[in-house]
């Protein structure tokens, strides 16, 4: 068999990408590939874990992250939930992260004061679905703030970095961060790649109502001891996703992200009603555009939150109804779906696989609860 120079180069890049994403103990580690029966088909119950409403009355839970290691206030296996709305139900005004144990005990991990941030965050604080808890004890959350709960006053925001006591230590702004909407992490301890979707590119003061400028960034961080993470580099790895202002959802654009073991990043392209695949996400230096379509339509109905199941399948929850959908990315086929919430559209956002693969955590922003499919 003869090999062309192009084939050799492609093989080398593939080997590099696979090696770079060998299994780790990262925040979104998915276990070994095992494309067998659908992951969600083994679960038959949906139970409420706890209310996500803290004492200040914040509502509309968005982000979900499972704590990977215990440190200070953080307890391994607990779930962090970020709130997007304030007590007056104004979007982009939520300031709290609550911590919930598997048994349903609720505590306040952080309440973030926009007036005392240690760095820039254009517009203030409105905590989004972009939420990760790292092995080193750092917690990073996205902010897409508004002045009055409408897209007309939405500002670029930032990423807010908190330590394991819930204290804000720094912010990341600029460098392509513009309305950070969701996020996942490839966490190697001392180095971390954050993959962040952005939904405000080209939209200023709520206008124009629709653009095709949504992006996915790779932010490369270095972590040394107790020092706050250092942002070394920002790269746009995907672009051209449709963004739309919406009076009910504030903004609709690329949302959930999850990293497969082969280095492919999967993106919930909400407006286009599809799951996109971005190859070589951890090593590519150019944009893949809107990526390859893995699946679209069928049981998808405005996919929002996204997670990778232990068998390598992609889990998404719909904004248009109360369903979770499981997709086999190798086959490009939706292999299972079921109803998580019978209250109708717009209830589901963030989700995460529970420790030991015992279920799927998800937030319901109709009744402001963390629940589990198990």
Element housing 195 (H / E): strand 191-198
pLDDT in tens, 156-198: 999 999 999 999 999 999 999 999 999 999 999 999 999 999 9
- Per-residue pLDDT, 74: 98
Average of pLDDT values for 102-114?
98
Alpha carbon distances (Å) from 25 to 30, 67, 137, 314: 9, 12, 13, 19
Q: What is the pLDDT of residues 46-100, one digit of tens each?
A: 999 999 999 999 999 999 999 999 999 999 999 999 999 999 999 999 999 999 9
| Residue length of the chain | 374
Model's pTM, two decimal places? 0.91
36: pLDDT confidence band, cut at 50, 70 and 90? low
What DSSP string describes 294-342? EEESTT-SSEEEEEE-TTSPEEEEESSSSEEEEEETTTTEEEEEEES-T
Q: Are 64 and 80 in contact (CB under 8 A)?
A: yes
- Strand, helix or coil at 162? strand
The answer for residues whose C-beta is within 8 angstroms of residue 278's C-beta and 6 or more apart is 216, 237, 238, 264, 265, 266, 267, 284, 288, 291
pLDDT band at 344 (very low <50, low <70, confident <90, very high): low
Region of poorest pLDDT, from 31-35, 200-204, 220-224, 275-279 = 31-35
For the cut 80, the answer to whether the pLDDT of residue 5 exceeds it is no
Q: What is the mean pLDDT of the chain?
A: 91
Whether pLDDT at 293 is above 90: yes
- Rounded Cα distance between 374 and 12, Å, is 41
């Amino acid at each position: 068999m003869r090999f062309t120079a192009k084939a050799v180069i492609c093989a080398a890049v593939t080997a590099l990408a696979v090696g770079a994403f060998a299994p780790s103990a990262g925040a979104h580690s998915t276990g070994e590939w095992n494309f067998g029966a659908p992951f969600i088909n083994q679960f038959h119950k949906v139970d409420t874990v706890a209310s996500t409403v803290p004492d200040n009355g914040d509502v509309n839970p968005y982000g979900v992250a499972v704590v990977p290691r215990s440190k200070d206030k953080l307890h391994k296996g607990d779930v962090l939930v970020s709130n997007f709305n304030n007590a007056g139900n104004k979007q982009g005004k939520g300031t709290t992260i609550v911590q919930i144990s598997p048994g349903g005990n609720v505590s306040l991990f952080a309440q973030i004061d926009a007036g005392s941030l240690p760095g820039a965050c254009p517009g203030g604080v409105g905590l989004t679905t972009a939420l990760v808890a790292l092995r080193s004890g750092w917690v990073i959350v996205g902010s897409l703030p508004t002045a009055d709960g409408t897209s007309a006053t939405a500002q670029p925001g930032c990423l807010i970095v908190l330590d394991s006591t819930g204290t804000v230590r720094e912010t990341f702004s600029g460098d392509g961060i513009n309305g950070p909407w969701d996020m996942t992490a490839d966490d190697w301890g001392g180095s971390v790649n954050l993959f962040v979707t952005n939904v405000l590119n080209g939209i200023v003061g709520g206008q124009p109502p629709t653009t095709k400028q949504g992006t996915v960034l790779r932010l490369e961080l270095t972590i040394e001891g107790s020092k706050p993470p250092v942002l070394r580099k920002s790269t746009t790895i995907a672009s051209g996703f449709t963004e739309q202002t919406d009076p009910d959802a504030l903004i609709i654009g690329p949302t959930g992200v999850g990293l497969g073991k082969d280095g492919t990043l999967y993106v919930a392209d909400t407006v286009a009603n599809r799951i996109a695949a971005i190859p070589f996400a951890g090593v590519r230096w150019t944009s893949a555009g809107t990526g390859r379509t893995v699946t679209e339509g069928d049981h998808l109905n405005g996919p929002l939150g996204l997670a990778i199941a232990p068998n390598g399948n992609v889990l998404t929850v719909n904004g248009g109804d109360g369903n979770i959908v499981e997709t086999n990315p190798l086959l490009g086929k939706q292999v299972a779906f079921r109803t998580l919430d019978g209250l109708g559209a717009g209830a589901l956002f963030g989700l995460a696989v529970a420790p030991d693969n015992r279920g799927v955590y998800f937030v319901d922003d109709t009744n402001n609860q963390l629940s589990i499919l198990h």
